[in-house]
Amino acid sequence: MFSNTLFMLSAALTLGGAFAVVYSQNLMHACIYLLASLFGVAGLYACIGADFLAATQLVVYAGGVVILMLFAIMLTGGTGNKINRYGLEKVAAMGNKKTYFTAGFAAVVTSLIILKIIASVLRAQPSKELAANQVTVEKLGTLLATDHILAFEISSVMLLGALVGAAIISRPRKEKHD
């Protein structure tokens, strides 16, 4: 019952957040809605026994990504002028009817793809007993340190690179032409 309730709540949060991200006209709000949606996903994880993942989701997204985005939004929207020196609006409008129409088209096409897959999946779904949820932390830990140790290592390379790269790119210092 609890899990059902959690699922319902999480699903609602996820979908609601996602839809809000789509239609919100304020970037800051959209970002917050995204956070909500991600929280919902974390709840969905929790419902099916992915406890560690749920936690990571909360930590990484809430603590990391969304905050980063908020920073970025603030960095880019900051100064009073709405118009830059090229006469362009600095912070773009979120979209208009036309773009939504195009997006809708794209979404319809995408759903054609995905529905095809999902329909087949559901048709071919084997009915089998679901195992009880277990604590996954230890297993995941073991897997990460054994079978997937390489991925673990390489992701560190990737993160290092991303770190350095992000630093290089966004360092506000103007480079001299040389």
Partner 1 sequence: MDYTLSTVAPVVLLPFFAFVINAFIVKKFTKLAVAVSTGAIFVSFLYALRIFLDFLNVYSVGYNIHKTFTWFDLSTGSSIFKVNMGIYIDNMTSVMLLMVTGAATIIHIFSTWYMHDDPRFGRFFVYLSLFTSAMLGLVLSDNLLSVFIFWELMGFCSYSLIGFYYEKEGAGNASLKAFMTTRVGDVFFLLGILALWSVVGNVSFVDIYNAIGAGKFNNLYALGIPLATFAGFSIFMGTMGKSAQVPLQVWLPDAMWGPTPCSALIHAATMVAAGVYLSLRMYPLMELGHLLPFIAIIGAITAFGAATIALVQTDIKAVLAYSTISQLGYMVIGIGVGSYNASFMHLITHAVFKACLFLSAGSVIHSIHCQEMPQMGGLRKKLPYTFFAMLLCCFAIAGVPFFSGFVSKDRILGDALVMALAHPVYIPVALLGFAGAFLTAFYMFRMLFLTFFGEPRDHHIYEHAHHEHLGWNSNIPLLILSVFTLGLFYSGSFTGQGEVNLFGTKNEWFSTLIHRPDSNSLHHFAEYKSEEFGLVDTRDKVELPRAHFDESHGMSEKEAHHVHQIHKAGALASIFIAFMGIFLAYSMYVKRSIYPGWWTSTFSGWTRALKNKYYFDDLYVKKIIQGLLLPFNNLLAWFDMGIYDKYAVDGWEAVNRFAFNVSRWFDNNIIDSGMVDGTGASVNLMNAILRWIQSGKIQLYFVVLIVVLASYIWTIHI
Partner 2 sequence: MYLNYLANIARYIPELILVALMAGLLILETTYREDEKNKKYIFIGGLIGLVVALASLVANFSGKSETIFSQSMIIDPFSTLMKIIMVLGTIGVFYLSRISKDIYESLKTEFIVMAVGILIGGMILASANNMLMIYIGVETLSILSYVMASFKKNDERSSEAGLKYALYGGLSAGIMLFGMSHIFGVLGTIQFSGMAVNLLKLNQAQMLILMPSFILFFVGIGYKIAAVPFHMWSPDVYEGSPTPVTAFFAIVPKIAGISALARIGFIFFTAATPMRASWILLLMAVASLTMTVGNVTAIGQKSVKRMLAYSSISHAGIMLCGLVVINDIGVRAITFYGITYLFMTLVAFYIVSIVQDKYGNDHFDRFTGLAYRYPFMAVVMTIVMFSLTGLPPLAGFVAKFNIINALLNSHFYTLAIILALNSVVSAYYYLKIVRLMTLKQQESNEVIEGFGFLNQFIIIVMTAPILVLGVFWENIMMLANGAKIFFQ
Partner 3 sequence: MINLGSYLIISFALFICGILVMVARKNIIAILLGIELILNASALNFVAYTKFMNNNLDGHIMSLFIIVTAAAEAAVGLGIVIRFFQLRESIHIDDAATLQN
The 8 Å CB, 24+ separation contacts for 26-30 are: 26/94, 27/73, 27/77, 27/91, 27/94, 28/70, 28/73, 30/94
Tell me: does residue 176 bind partner 1 (CB under 8 A): no
- Measured CA distances, 55 to 12, 26, 35, 47 (Å): 19, 28, 14, 12
**Rounded Cα gap, residues 1 and 161, in angstroms:** 45
> Which of 107, 135, 145, 149: binder of partner 3 (CB under 8 A)?
107
- Which residues inside 24-43 make contact with partner 3, applying CB under 8 A? 27, 30-31, 34, 37-38, 41
On whether the CB atoms of residues 84 and 90 are closer than 8 A, the answer is yes
Residues within window 115-144 making contact with partner 3, judged by CB under 8 A? 115, 118, 121-122, 125-126, 130-131, 136, 139-140, 143-144
Within positions 72 to 101, which residues make up the interface with partner 1, using CB under 8 A? 97-99, 101
Residues 59-78 that bind partner 3 (CB under 8 A): 60-61, 64-65, 68-69, 71-73, 75-76
> What are the structure tokens assigned to 28, written together?
């800051």
Contacts of 27 (CB under 8 A, 6+ apart): 73, 77, 91, 94
Q: Is residue 174 close enough to count as binding partner 1 by CB under 8 A?
A: no
Per CB under 8 A, residues contacting partner 2 are 113-114, 116-117, 120-121, 123-124, 146-151, 153-155, 157-158, 160-162, 164-166, 168-169, 171, 174-178
Per CB under 8 A, residues contacting partner 1 are 97-99, 101-102, 105-106, 109-110, 112-113, 116
